[in-house]
Amino acid sequence: MSNARTPFIVRFFSATGRTGWIAIALFALLTIVAVPVCHLMFQEGDALFISTFYVTLIGKIMCYAIVAVAMDLIWGYAGVLSLAQGLFFALGGYAFGMYLMRSIGLDGVYKSHLPDFMVFLDWKAYPWFWAFTDSFVYSIFLAIAAPGLLAFVFGFFVFRSRVKGVYFAIISQAMLYAFLLLFFMNNTGFGGNNGFTDFKRILGYDITSPEMRATLFALSSATLLFALLFGRYVVTSKYGRILTAIRDAEMRVMFLGYNPLWYKLFIWTVAAIICGIAGALYVPQVGIINPSEMATANSIEIAIWAAIGGRGTLVGPAIGAFVVNLSKSWFTVAFPEYWLYFLGLLFVLVTLLLPQGLVGLYQQLRARSTR
């Protein structure tokens, strides 16, 4: 049966092999069923109880893993090293954060319909771009549209100019830094350096309740799994094969009649949207969003996750996000002054000794064992 006649849904799900589906089923069982049940059905002191701290920590890391998958789509498969993924992540977070701020209502410090930072700055009304942000549906749309539109416009002009390699990384970093400075300003309507915080509710439900935390945790897991499935479908399709050909030999692909602009632009925009969705899931779980999420170091760290896990594997960067951030959680408590040294050493060792990352190491070991 040809691809043209095969239903999309069949092609989408068949892109992932049997082993992949087993891993997905086990991960879903653990994160969508087991963890929420242990968090909600057991009490503190019970052997199976999972505390709010760990639910929030793992939920946050799953959001990072979603960003890592997006990074792999553009870097691992398209060969485009972006240092702006932190910007798209933050834009999604700010978009949903605007809804969360408006949901506070009169429960703020100043008992005003305006957020506390606007009252403090003597604002009398919401800026125009806050329109409709009291709608949950619109805020989700905005978390998708804002990073997607910015990525499309930026990518169109940059890719059309055939900017690539280190030059693209530098330009994307410059865009990131420009937005960082913009969001730090108090008069832009985004809370300045403090950003958005003190959230109260989502759709009328207490944002700090165990039920809401378990729901956000499960949604983060489901989104991560969908990102992996979608990524696998894309990279195994005809489009994905052309994309990897552009990564490996762009000039040859152009001589064959393909225009790299639209192939790169599509995956670049999709990756930005995925980051925006991850940001929207991240903010209600951690309870804050501020310009520090746009820091250059954060976007560099995203690239480190992909490199450590294994570029061009999809699941590798997600694993890298878990390894690095769990290590970070432990190191920043046990040896806070040495964390950055450890991260740098880990990146150097993986680059020198494991150029294909942890997944590449696993594949090598498995190949040896089957000989």
Q: Is the Cβ–Cβ distance between 306 and 323 less than 8 Å?
A: no
In angstroms, the CA 86 to CA 297 distance is: 9
What integer is the mean pLDDT of 217-243?
95
Query: Per-residue pLDDT tens for 242-294?
Result: 999 999 988 999 998 899 999 999 999 999 999 999 999 999 999 999 999 99
Question: Closest Cα partner for 37 from 205, 291, 217?
Answer: 217
Q: How many CB atoms lie within 10 A of CB 121?
A: 14
Tell me the pLDDT band of 24, cut-offs 50, 70 and 90: very high
Tokens of 132: 């409709």
Number of residues that make up the chain = 371
3-class secondary structure, 202: strand
Class of residue 357 by CB neighbours under 10 A (exposed 0-12, middle 13-18, buried 19+): buried
Mean pLDDT of the 333-359 span: 81
Q: How far is CA 154 from the centre of its chain?
A: 19
With cut-offs at 50, 70 and 90, classify the pLDDT of residue 2: very low
End-to-end CA distance of the chain: 35
What pLDDT was estimated at residue 329?
87
Share the mean pLDDT of the chain.
91
Give the pLDDT of residue 371: 67
Tens digit of pLDDT for each residue in 129-139?
999 999 999 99
CA gap 75, 264 in Å, rounded: 11
Which of 302, 301, 300, 320 has the alpha carbon at shortest distance from 310? 320
| Contact yes or no for 192/186 (Cβ under 8 A) | yes
Q: Is the dihedral of CA 225, 226, 229, 230 positive or negative?
A: negative
Beta pairing, strands 205-206 & 196-197: unpaired
- The SS3 call for residue 134 is coil
Lowest-confidence segment of 53-57, 105-109, 168-172, 173-177 by average pLDDT: 105-109
Three-state SS for 78? coil
Residue 299, sorted as left (phi over 0), alpha (psi -120 to 50) or beta, turns out to be alpha
Residue 184 clears pLDDT 80, i.e. is over it: yes
Q: CA–CA separation, 78 vs 243, rounded Å?
A: 6
Q: Residue 132, by phi and psi: left (phi above 0), alpha (psi -120 to 50) or beta?
A: left
pLDDT at 3 over 80: no
Structure confidence at residue 355 (pLDDT):
80
Q: Which band of pLDDT confidence, cut at 50, 70 and 90, is reported for residue 30? A: very high
**What confidence tens digit (pLDDT) does each residue in 53-71 have?**
999 999 999 999 999 999 9
Lowest-confidence pick of 121-125, 247-251, 334-338? 334-338
Tokens of 273: 């949207």
